[in-house]
Structure 1
Amino acid sequence: MMNNEALIAVLQRTDPFALLDRNVLAPLCRGITLGTFKKGDYVFRQGAPSCDCLFIIAHGLVEILVEDDCREESVVGLRRKHDFFGETVVLSGQRYPGSARAKGALTCLRLHRNDLESLIYSQPEFSGFFNTLLAERMRLIYERNLSDRACTIPGSSTALLFRKQVSRVMSAPVLTCREDDPVSDAAKKMVKRQVGCLVVVDPAGRFRGTLTERHLVGGLIAEQTCPVGRCTAGRLMDPRLKAIAPEAYLGEALAAMIRNRSRQLVVMERDLPVGVVAFSDLVRSQSADSLMLIHDIADQNDMDGLADLSAGIDRVLDALVAERAGVQETMEIMSRLNDRITRKVIELSEVQMKGDGWGPPPVDYCWINMGSAARYEQTLRTDQDNAIIYADPEDGDRQASFDYFQRLAERVVDGLDRCGFERCPGGVMASKPKWCRALSEWRRGVAGWMVSMEPEDIRTLTILLDYRSVWGNNSLADTLWDDIVDAFSGSMSAGHMLSRDDQKLVAPIGILGKIATERSGPKKGRINLKTAALVHMVNAVRLLALRRGISTPSTLERLDRLVDSHDLSAEDAAFYRAGFETLMMFRIRENLKRVRDGRPPDNTLDPGTLNKSETLLLKDALSAVAQLQKRMSKGFHVPWMNYFGH
């Protein structure tokens, strides 16, 4: 028998419990039980159900064994005094992948899973030791949840997007030609086989490029690159490889086509082309009116037609959720689809400007999206967050250039509003002078905002730190980003002020893993997944990425880059990714429910409606939020600066 002082003494010498204060460890002892074993006794056996506890060695030595197919056991590890074991299944609830056997007299502390979870949820530093296991648990529950309680869409028109593989619909064997083949021969082959694409290969069958009907029309008729009689496939082909694997799902192929703005993908296996999958193949494999929307956006010639078409975009999201698409694929497909609408609105607006006598843009410019649209996290169409960066005009042309871009922005903002992207209530739109500036004015603004402690300037900077060019001269956006990185690295206050602003609201999970919900008002008993959870993850990852000069605005891509730069371990990043995707999954699901009921999406969730596994999933995700907030506070907090600004 061990008293509480003896139990605390063991915990204080065991990582990660050594991180915890005595006042945290003392109550923990009430739930700890002891296990004693003789030499040769098994604490648990391979394949046995989880004991739902973590074992901490007070005295003795434990062998970890794995049994092979011939039922022969091999020792794969040893656990000594003040080590713990059994961690691989205590959180997941799976069966033990190996056995634990006492090598001599053994005394273990048994910490129940519920008590361990309470520590993980309330102590972010402690939880870091279990990130790999938490990420795996979220993955298992998430996948099981998709199977057991998928959001089914009555009458959904798109089927099999994430159940049918590319190999089932691709054109094979691949039709090829050589670089030195006359284009006339290539065209005859296309006509004979009724295909729109040939893969250009070298004598060994390796990929060299693609030749499509568009290349033929563009090179021989529109631009007349070379005479038909002397033109070869190599002159007109596109050498860029836009590839997909045969085992990939159709939804992944769709995402790749939208990303690459391509109608065909080359199916590659072992570095050799084995087939071609075209957009038309995806359409034929579905009763796919929703997929045709993607194709039809480019064909719209006026704003009325584009607005009518955009009204059906939400059907694509319905289809993706019904098909149990992953969160990242869903966000990418919907965000890039919304990008297409935005680009078409800008294109039509430029045409309108010419028709009204304004002429073409007086200088180069780029249209940038901000917020969730920039981060590839937009699913349902949300409020607009956009801006214009235009090249500095000659001194005498400044007012005329500003007037042009203000007028253009008003047309674009109005067109986007007609297409379902409502105007931003806070005025973060290119139609407002604050968000429509020449490059030099943007640069001066950034220099000032980066050292300011005014709340409005901090908000402006927070918004601007997530942007992505979707139209125009991308170099303008790149130049501004370089200025932002330089200014941030030279500012002591920027990181502190941005992190302090986020710390004003803590992650909504308290001691013992209790989920904090709204206490009053129309949302009483609900949690806002965006403002109470996701925004903290976005803010923390943004600051960590900005410190490294990482330019991509996507939260998930930023996590990957932070692993590459060794700012995050792969295990921590996997945990944060799992938490982020889990919260996004709940957000998408709950918002779609409201839309189907004829109510506006509000990003809220009532935890009381979740089943046991979903509740566990949400708590794990919120613990990732709390841990990221703690990491951000440690990395950017400058204590003496708290005396300046409020």
Structure 2
Amino acid sequence: MQEWMRNYKMTTDVIKTLKSVTPFNSLTLEVLNELIPKLKIKVYFPGDYVFKQGEPSQRCLFIISHGSAEITVTNEKGIEAVVGFRQQLDFFGETVVLTNLTYPASVRAKEQMACFLLARKDLEHLINNHSDFAGFFSQILSERMRVLYEEIVTEQSFEAYSSIDTPLFSKRVSEIMSTPVLTCHPSQSVKAAVDMMFKKNISSLVIADDNLKPLGMITEKGLLKSIMTGNITSIEDYTTGDIMEQTLVTISPKSFFNQALLAVIKQQVKYLIVVDREKLVGIVTLMDLVKARNTGTLLITSEIDNKDSLDELVVIGQQINSMLYALVAEKAAVTAIMEIMTELHDRLTRKVIEICEKEMITRGRGKPPVEYAWIHMGSAGRREMTLRTDQDNAIVYANPDEQQAQNVAAYFHELAAGIVNGLAKCGFAKCKGGVMASNPLWCQSLNGWQETVHEWMKKGVPENVRALTIFLDFRYIYGSSALVNKLQNIVKTIDPASDTTVIVSHLLTQDDIKFKVPLNLLGGFVTDKHGPHRGEINLKNAAAIHIVNCIRVYAVKYGISFTSTFDRIRILNEQKIIPPDDAELVSAAYETLMMFRIRENVKKFKQGHQPDNYVNPHRLSKREQALLKDAFTAVTRLQKLTSNRFSIYWLSYLGQ
């Protein structure tokens, strides 16, 4: 026994053992030598339990250097059953060591067994500093991030909203809808329907068939309009099927509150028809959403629509920022926050454009001479808006006649300048890099854009690479959607397998991976050393942007048209381009980073300071620090995956 133990304390034998264990075999000899003094050796005799089901974590990973173990599970009746085995060179305890959960099963020695015990802090150090090693633990890391994330978000509280009890955004539509719904058959007369509405004191009525499949709706407003326009002369001579509004916005009873809220904002409707398997089960009205929790969202959208001047819109811009308090206090998911805030910012932008178009007419410049579209890029293009950010926008207009080209360009440059100034008034700061439609480079005809994009693709100088990273996130906001579709087709026609695309993918990759996440070799945070942000980390520039950039590289290479980072990750996973565990890890990391950014920026905004994406990691709780480090580790893992994949393509290109 003592001889056996002595042998396993010998450095060469320990290294030989670890070199046979995945993922430890990915570590260099130098790293393994540093690891050996940190390992503990423990011996278990046959029948000894290493740990039992339900016990708290021992905060270490168990690596079997000799012998074997069996995994057992005890059911509600107390009956224990063997469900698996671990042999020499296997390890166990990995599902708990990183999550602080209790053990889901028991492990006991099947024969005399010796294990190396690797403490959690030492395992985390390896994960944080060695991306190949970390890749093996992607699923476990993502699970830990989800657990820590939920714990932290649940504990968050904001003084102004401390009275909020039930998180509204966790509610389903079924919890807020009105049911049963009063309906009438399409064969019923309009008079009968009006009588029913009067008796029940309701302003709308759903038209449904015998199987309760919703077919349309009649409303007081719609009836009055039909009578005033002469579309109906007598309510006794028409059926509800003749005059009903057939365009319905439907939603599932299983949908969440934020999905209902988003549908009302985007579709600009006052009613959502709740349908389950094509059967009417309820209705959600605008007032239902307002009463459920007055977050102010719906009132803001109405106010935006009713404003006629830029001065009036300035106040609305400030109200939209304050909306973030309620959304965070309601513990809304990061994706829900970004969707709702983006939609509100889009509505505000469209209103600014409409006002500026009218001002052009008032000044005698007339209507737009050709069709055009306004597009957003950056976080707005990715539908990842929170607080108002710097502008990243552009204009694409239809190709004019050659003799009119100069006048058309002058018109849109003038219009763009007005819109950019209007947005600045509403709190969207002008882009310091000039990525705005008021810059001629970002205000071009369709042909002009085609030439520019091809130029950026062919000449991989730094300014072109950075322009591409901005442009490739563009999204339609206003005007001719057909023009934006044509612009997207220009990007799509670039062959993903072409030499040009390979080079661009490589350059985009190299542009990003030269930046490392702010963790040192010991796993500690690397913060700014000087200036006003000494001791802090910029979460956007130091981490989040690297996920955006790397995922964008994949999107370029594989022709993915979605602009949202979360959507791109989902598609890459579905197409098996990125392994599922890594996709989940990166998605969890991005959500984590966005949560910290939103939280810290909202705090600063409430205190009257400028939101700047900075956080002092040493003022975070231990759990928050662990969560942030996990997110940084995931970024490093993604950079490694991206570098490996696109370096291979690059080398293949050079070898042709």
The interval holding the TM-score normalised by the smaller chain is: over 0.9
Tell me the percent identity.
41
Deviation at 1:388, TM superposition (A): 0.5
1:495 to 497, 501, 505: 505
- Give runs of aligned pairs for residues 535-614 of structure 1, distance below 5 A: 535-614=545-624
1:233 to 226, 241, 254: 241
Match of 1:242 in 2: 250
For the Cα contact (< 8 Å) 2:378–2:473, is it kept in 1? Answer: yes
Deviation at 1:202, TM superposition (A): 3.0
For the Cα contact (< 8 Å) 2:555–2:568, is it kept in 1? Answer: yes
Whole-angstrom distance in 2 between the partners of 1:223 and 1:10: 88
Deviation at 1:626, TM superposition (A): 0.8
**1:153 maps onto 2:163 in alignment:** no
Instruction: Give the SS at the match of 2:168.
Output: coil
Whole-angstrom distance in 1 between the partners of 2:208 and 2:63: 61
Whole-angstrom distance in 2 between the partners of 1:114 and 1:210: 62
Deviation at 1:291, TM superposition (A): 4.1
Whole-angstrom distance in 1 between the partners of 2:650 and 2:144: 40
Match of 2:323 in 1: 316
The alpha-carbon distance between structure 1 residues 589 and 33, as it changes in their structure 2 partners (threshold 3 A), is same
The alpha-carbon distance between structure 1 residues 477 and 183, as it changes in their structure 2 partners (threshold 3 A), is farther
Letter in 1 for 2:451: R
Letter in 2 for 1:496: H
Whole-angstrom distance in 1 between the partners of 2:242 and 2:100: 58
The alpha-carbon distance between structure 1 residues 231 and 270, as it changes in their structure 2 partners (threshold 3 A), is closer
**1:394 maps onto 2:401 in alignment:** yes
Whole-angstrom distance in 2 between the partners of 1:569 and 1:223: 61
The alpha-carbon distance between structure 1 residues 518 and 288, as it changes in their structure 2 partners (threshold 3 A), is closer
For the Cα contact (< 8 Å) 2:167–2:332, is it kept in 1? Answer: no
Letter in 1 for 2:250: K
**1:533 maps onto 2:543 in alignment:** yes
The alpha-carbon distance between structure 1 residues 277 and 104, as it changes in their structure 2 partners (threshold 3 A), is same
Letter in 2 for 1:82: L
Match of 2:309 in 1: 302
For the Cα contact (< 8 Å) 1:121–1:510, is it kept in 2? Answer: no
2:101 to 70, 86, 94: 94
The alpha-carbon distance between structure 1 residues 85 and 227, as it changes in their structure 2 partners (threshold 3 A), is farther
Letter in 1 for 2:558: R
**1:37 maps onto 2:44 in alignment:** yes
For the Cα contact (< 8 Å) 1:152–1:322, is it kept in 2? Answer: no
The alpha-carbon distance between structure 1 residues 21 and 479, as it changes in their structure 2 partners (threshold 3 A), is same
Whole-angstrom distance in 1 between the partners of 2:204 and 2:446: 42
Instruction: Give the SS at the match of 2:534.
Output: coil
Instruction: Give the SS at the match of 1:512.
Output: coil
For the Cα contact (< 8 Å) 2:164–2:330, is it kept in 1? Answer: no
**1:332 maps onto 2:368 in alignment:** no
Tell which deviates more after alignment, 374-383 or 293-302.
293-302
Whole-angstrom distance in 2 between the partners of 1:420 and 1:157: 29
1:127 to 114, 129, 134: 134
**1:171 maps onto 2:178 in alignment:** yes
Instruction: Give the SS at the match of 1:328.
Output: helix
| Number of residues of Structure 1 aligned to a counterpart in Structure 2 | 643
Deviation at 1:465, TM superposition (A): 0.7
Instruction: Give the SS at the match of 2:394.
Output: strand
Instruction: Give the SS at the match of 1:595.
Output: helix
For the Cα contact (< 8 Å) 1:121–1:619, is it kept in 2? Answer: yes
Letter in 1 for 2:640: K
Tell which deviates more after alignment, 460-469 or 412-421.
412-421
Match of 1:450 in 2: 457
**1:627 maps onto 2:637 in alignment:** yes
Instruction: Give the SS at the match of 1:558.
Output: helix
The alpha-carbon distance between structure 1 residues 211 and 70, as it changes in their structure 2 partners (threshold 3 A), is farther
Match of 2:53 in 1: 46
The alpha-carbon distance between structure 1 residues 321 and 634, as it changes in their structure 2 partners (threshold 3 A), is same
For the Cα contact (< 8 Å) 2:249–2:271, is it kept in 1? Answer: no
Deviations 1:11-32, CA, capped at 9 Å, x for gaps? 1111111222222222111111
For the Cα contact (< 8 Å) 1:158–1:288, is it kept in 2? Answer: no
The alpha-carbon distance between structure 1 residues 551 and 336, as it changes in their structure 2 partners (threshold 3 A), is same
Whole-angstrom distance in 1 between the partners of 2:396 and 2:229: 32
1:139 to 146, 166, 185: 146
Match of 1:636 in 2: 646
Deviation at 1:605, TM superposition (A): 0.5
For the Cα contact (< 8 Å) 2:505–2:556, is it kept in 1? Answer: no
Instruction: Give the SS at the match of 1:514.
Output: coil
Deviation at 1:562, TM superposition (A): 1.1
The alpha-carbon distance between structure 1 residues 100 and 311, as it changes in their structure 2 partners (threshold 3 A), is same
Match of 1:279 in 2: 286
- Give runs of aligned pairs for residues 3-82 of structure 1, distance below 5 A: 3-82=10-89
Match of 1:358 in 2: 365
Instruction: Give the SS at the match of 1:153.
Output: helix
For the Cα contact (< 8 Å) 1:158–1:319, is it kept in 2? Answer: no
**1:264 maps onto 2:271 in alignment:** yes
Instruction: Give the SS at the match of 1:393.
Output: coil
The alpha-carbon distance between structure 1 residues 98 and 158, as it changes in their structure 2 partners (threshold 3 A), is closer
**1:115 maps onto 2:125 in alignment:** no
Instruction: Give the SS at the match of 1:108.
Output: strand
For the Cα contact (< 8 Å) 2:506–2:650, is it kept in 1? Answer: no
For the Cα contact (< 8 Å) 2:153–2:331, is it kept in 1? Answer: yes
Instruction: Give the SS at the match of 1:388.
Output: strand
Whole-angstrom distance in 1 between the partners of 2:73 and 2:418: 67
Deviations 1:131-186, CA, capped at 9 Å, x for gaps? 11111111111111122233343689998533655444322112223344445544
Deviation at 1:421, TM superposition (A): 0.8
Whole-angstrom distance in 2 between the partners of 1:227 and 1:410: 52
Structure 2 residues not aligned, in runs of 5+? none
The root-mean-square deviation of aligned C-alpha atoms, in Å, is 2.6
For the Cα contact (< 8 Å) 2:573–2:580, is it kept in 1? Answer: yes
For the Cα contact (< 8 Å) 1:211–1:233, is it kept in 2? Answer: no
Instruction: Give the SS at the match of 1:311.
Output: helix
Letter in 1 for 2:400: P
Whole-angstrom distance in 2 between the partners of 1:78 and 1:642: 43
2:421 to 411, 414, 421: 414
Deviation at 1:51, TM superposition (A): 1.0
For the Cα contact (< 8 Å) 2:127–2:134, is it kept in 1? Answer: yes
The alpha-carbon distance between structure 1 residues 373 and 32, as it changes in their structure 2 partners (threshold 3 A), is same
Deviations 1:283-323, CA, capped at 9 Å, x for gaps? 22335545411222112222222222222111210111111
For the Cα contact (< 8 Å) 1:117–1:512, is it kept in 2? Answer: no
Deviation at 1:241, TM superposition (A): 4.5
Letter in 2 for 1:548: Y
For the Cα contact (< 8 Å) 1:369–1:469, is it kept in 2? Answer: yes
For the Cα contact (< 8 Å) 1:509–1:516, is it kept in 2? Answer: yes
Deviation at 1:234, TM superposition (A): 6.8
The alpha-carbon distance between structure 1 residues 155 and 88, as it changes in their structure 2 partners (threshold 3 A), is closer
Letter in 2 for 1:430: A
The alpha-carbon distance between structure 1 residues 366 and 520, as it changes in their structure 2 partners (threshold 3 A), is same
Whole-angstrom distance in 2 between the partners of 1:368 and 1:135: 34
Whole-angstrom distance in 2 between the partners of 1:487 and 1:586: 37
Instruction: Give the SS at the match of 2:381.
Output: coil
- Give runs of aligned pairs for residues 467-478 of structure 1, distance below 5 A: 467-478=474-485
Tell which deviates more after alignment, 111-120 or 265-274.
265-274
For the Cα contact (< 8 Å) 2:161–2:326, is it kept in 1? Answer: no
Whole-angstrom distance in 1 between the partners of 2:457 and 2:163: 48
Instruction: Give the SS at the match of 1:626.
Output: helix
Instruction: Give the SS at the match of 1:313.
Output: helix
